[in-house]
Chain A
Amino acid sequence: MKRDLAHITTSRTTTLWLLAALLLAFAPHTLRLPLTISALCLLFGLWRFSIERRPAAKLPRRIVRTMILCATLVIVYLHYGTLLGREAGIALLATMLALKLLEMRTVRDYIVVILLGYFLAVTLVLYSQTLPIAAYMILVAFMLTATLIDLNLQQEKRSVQTRLQVTGKLFVQAVPIMLILFFLFPRIPGPLWSLPDDAHSGTTGISDEMSMGSISNLSQSNRIAFRVAFDEQIIDNTLSYWRGPVLWQTDGKNWRAGPAATSGALSYRPKGEPVHYTVTLEPHNRKWLYGLDIPATVPPQATINRDFQLITQSKVKELTRYEMSSYSEYETGPLTSDERQRALQLPTSRNSRAVALGQQWQQRLQEPEKIISHALQYFNQQPFVYTLKPPRLGDNPVDEFLFNTQQGFCEHYAASFTILMRAAGIPARIVTGYQGGDFNPIGNYLIVRQRDAHAWTEVWLARQGWVRVDPTAAVAPERIEQGAETLFSERFNRQSTLQFDSMFLTTGWLRLRYGWDTLNNSWNQWVIGYDTLKQSQLLSRFGIDSIKQMAIIMVIAIISVLTILQLLAMRRSRKKQDLISSTYQHFCQKFAAIGIQRQPHEGPIDFSQRIIAARPDLAPQVLQISDLYIALKYRPRHTQQQIKQLQQQVRRLKL
């Protein structure tokens, strides 16, 4: 297929296809790009479209284009304050691509635009690497490739069918090569493209600070925090506390971790057997991992501190997969004096009524165990309400919550309980993280979402060490036992019984949802999670140990795939040629029987003329067969149809 560029011509259809493909590649970006930039790109596209509609219209002149270019650069710069980085870079790419449409004239321009279109599509993965995005990118690539193919077809051969057929064929042929590259191309530790600093900056999740209302905000979100696959059996919901940041320091309103824990060996005595599981953590832009309370092993990418928190070196900006084990029952070691001091720290200026109540309990009950159970009883018996939308609280939030509003979410209960305990002289701290989760029966794993975010309290008791106390459980035990989803969706169901009347519909919907999440999870595990480690594990099973071997095998595999494809194509054309020759042979034999023998060196035209001279009555049929044979054997292109016709004609020929 050698052809000059000059041979290729563009047409209106090509341009319209190209515009459609580019629009498809650009559409998801409009969700993130500033409105001005999106509008600008669409404007340029529409401009080109209108030019295409009216054949008399001309592309803008060079001076106009230059002015628009400068204006666009200024707009992008004003928006971002830079032309570099992910956001500004994509905005620049999109606007320049749209501008290029206004000077797209020659075939070379078209090809440049198509290649830039592929690039624009690829930038989608800088934001999200999910299955739907991948599927969408394949669609965009398909459209762009179809346009590219259209450009390379001769004018009269162009049709939607050929375009789609050829592109489909190309894509199918590309699959083995894609698989080879996926499995064998040496993976770089970390993402292939180093994500810029602003990646995932808008991500919500648990932070290392807590104030009243911060977690209940989170609870509106259905986004997945992480998925957990258990090795043996799933852990009971009441034990499924996923440990995140531990908060010590408070001013009575806000809670933060405070200064890092001082030295002192981590000591605990496990009871019972550990639970083994694998967590796939979505990027959350923070420097910690989540583990089941309390972590027994530490994944290689993290360290554990004295708060039993898993700390990473850098922010988690990509999907992270780690194997862990935890003990759900344990006793921790002694408290240092520094820790005791921090665990009893109480701001004097705020929440005086709560502090007084705590002090009163201490005097009355003396023993910490009694104080704790009394406090839980207090939460249980007073008319406390567990709600997603608690009223706003003022300067003494704990007092207001305990004695006035009595409506709150887990952070209200945890914070109040901790203040009460500290006032009663019991060392206490808040632990944030997630609780519960959603078991996916199809994929057999636990889905933990942002709405499962939770806060609870740990108190230190002399004989047991740190003990988890969850005051929320005293108020709304179903939150802990069944998870946040059931609690709030029940309320939702009751309101819209009409829609979810049928049990079947509901379970069908649930099955669909779990199935979809299972698919996403497998995508995460096998495609996104296929990293250096997994690759070397997989390949060492086949005895491939070094990158060098990997590269050699990759090259060999690609060459063999290409060779096989080529051989198949050759065999097909060889088979076709054999069929054509044998049919013509049959034709010659028919005439040999009546004495007109074809000489071995005789060409088809000479032979047909000799036949016609001898049998003028057969001229039409003979000429037709001879023409077909020539077309099939000597002309550049032919169709399957013509082979069938030749066979038919020869069969029908009666001498």
Chain B
Amino acid sequence: MSQTASSLLTTPAHTSQHNTLLRQTLASMNQIILGKEQTLRLALTCLLARGHLLIEDQPGVGKTTLSHLLARVLNLDFQRIQFTSDMLPADILGVSVYDQNSASFKFHPGPVFSQLVLADEVNRATPKAQSALLEAMEEYQVTTEGETHPLPSPFFVIATQNPSNQIGTFPLPESQLDRFLMRLEIGYPNQADEKALLKGRDRRELLKEMEATLTPAQLLEIQSVVPQIHVSDALIDYLQKILSFSRHSSCYRNGLSPRAGIAILRCAQAWALLDDRDHLLPEDIQAILPATTHHRLQPSVALAEQGQDEVVSHLLTVPLD
């Protein structure tokens, strides 16, 4: 905890300064991807809470654009890995090659050595390749041939999955889904926004003209403030009620893990920070609850025919006190 970061809470001047930056960031993002304010805010929340993002949606709704956009406004270096069924871990992590001049093996870092990594269609690759990425996500470092290489900081992975057309895919198992802090859908734009999109300029070109609104250093600083957002005992009680509901209710096959509880708390804190507050409210938890629990919960047999969104929404009915 650095001096500047901790004094953020006590001196409002700093907070508002950071908040201006965050507001600008959100505003520029909304210029590129139209009508998805809530989704963009959640994506940024996930990033501020130091988590990785899973996007499940149809092709063409803007998954790749969103990744490019985040890399652009946050001034992060960006790599895209297109996952295929013949992919090997070395394609992601990098390889050691014999160097004749120095007469030794030299490590050539793979595409994962980047601040923002887009893992496109992660379910196309074999579990072996998937787990190479997921391990890197968890450990923030890559170990090959006995050598450990730290990943850059900040390090943020956006993985995408195509929910339909599941033939020949290897869907991520629950245990690995849990590594993603949030799971988002982008969805189709509404009519007015689509009209603006169709009439407007090419999004890729617009992206190139965009200015970064945050430096990686500023991002790291804001990330360090997130855990300091005050959480009152009343809210801890509320969160525990939600967790206990997920574990005891007949709606779900399995309850939320303690890791999920921490994920909810961190995301809610980041959400509160984006809302320019130094304390958490029940509304913050409710806002990020679907995105953080959707991929972690399986409906019980009784609710099998309900949609996953509906299943998750039961959590929101847990009374406050």
Contacts and interface: CB of A to CB of B under 8 A. Distances in A.
Contacts of A636: 230, 232, 278-279
B320 A634 contact: no
Nearest to A580: B234
A577 interface: yes
A635 interface: yes
Contact of A6 (B3, B280, B281, B317): B3
A603 B286 contact: yes
A543 B301 CA distance: 67
Given A577-B234, A635-B232, A4 B6 contact: yes
B186 interface: no
B97 interface: no
Question: Which of B278, B319, B320 has most A Cβ within 10 Å?
Answer: B320
Contacts of B10: 154-156
Interface residues of A, number: 20
B232 A633 contact: yes
Given A155-B10, A634-B232, A601 B317 contact: yes
Nearest to A7: B6
Interface string A564-577: 00000000000001
Given A7-B6, A600-B319, A635 B283 contact: no
Contacts of A156: 10
A606 interface: yes
B2 A6 contact: yes
Contact of B320 (A155, A602, A630, A635): A602
Contacts of A603: 281-283, 286, 320
Interface in B6-24: 6-7, 10
Contacts of A633: 232, 234
Interface string B171-212: 000000000000000000000000000000000000000000
Contacts of A6: 1-3, 6
B63 to A, nearest CB: 31
Given A4-B1, A604-B282, A581 B321 contact: yes
A605 interface: yes
B6 A634 contact: no
Nearest to A155: B10
A207 to B, nearest CB: 65
Nearest to A154: B10
Nearest to B9: A636
B320 A600 contact: yes
B283 A601 contact: no
B10 to A, nearest CB: 6
A604 B230 contact: no
Given A634-B235, A636-B230, A601 B281 contact: no
A358 B279 CA distance: 102
A606 B1 contact: no
Question: Which of A155, A577, A634 has most B Cβ within 10 Å?
Answer: A634
A630 B319 contact: no
A635 B230 CA distance: 7
A630 B235 CA distance: 11
Contact of B283 (A7, A154, A581, A605): A605
B320 A601 contact: yes
A600 B241 CA distance: 13
Nearest to B229: A636
Given A7-B6, A155-B10, A581-B321, A634 B1 contact: no
Contact of A634 (B7, B279, B286, B317): B279
Nearest to A573: B233
Contacts of B2: 6
Nearest to B316: A601
Interface string B283-295: 1001000000000
Contact of A630 (B1, B6, B281): B281
Contacts of B235: 634
B279 A635 contact: yes
Contacts of A635: 230, 232, 278-279
B318 interface: yes
Interface string B228-257: 001010110000000000000000000000
A577 B6 CA distance: 27
A319 B301 CA distance: 84
Nearest to B287: A603
Contacts of B281: 603-605, 630, 634
A633 B321 CA distance: 12
A566 B230 CA distance: 22
Nearest to B285: A603
A606 B320 contact: no
Nearest to A631: B279
B124 to A, nearest CB: 39
Interface in A588-640: 600-606, 630, 633-636
Nearest to B321: A581
Interface in B297-321: 316-321
A600 B234 CA distance: 14
A605 B281 CA distance: 9
A464 to B, nearest CB: 87
Given A6-B2, A634-B235, 8 more contacts: A4-B1, A7-B1, A7-B6, A7-B7, A601-B282, A601-B317, A603-B282, A603-B320
- Top 8 closest pairs, chain A to chain B, by CB: A600-B319, A603-B282, A603-B283, A636-B230, A635-B279, A634-B232, A6-B3, A634-B279
13 contacts: A4-B6, A6-B3, A601-B319, A603-B320, A604-B281, A604-B282, A605-B283, A606-B283, A633-B234, A634-B279, A634-B281, A635-B278, A636-B278
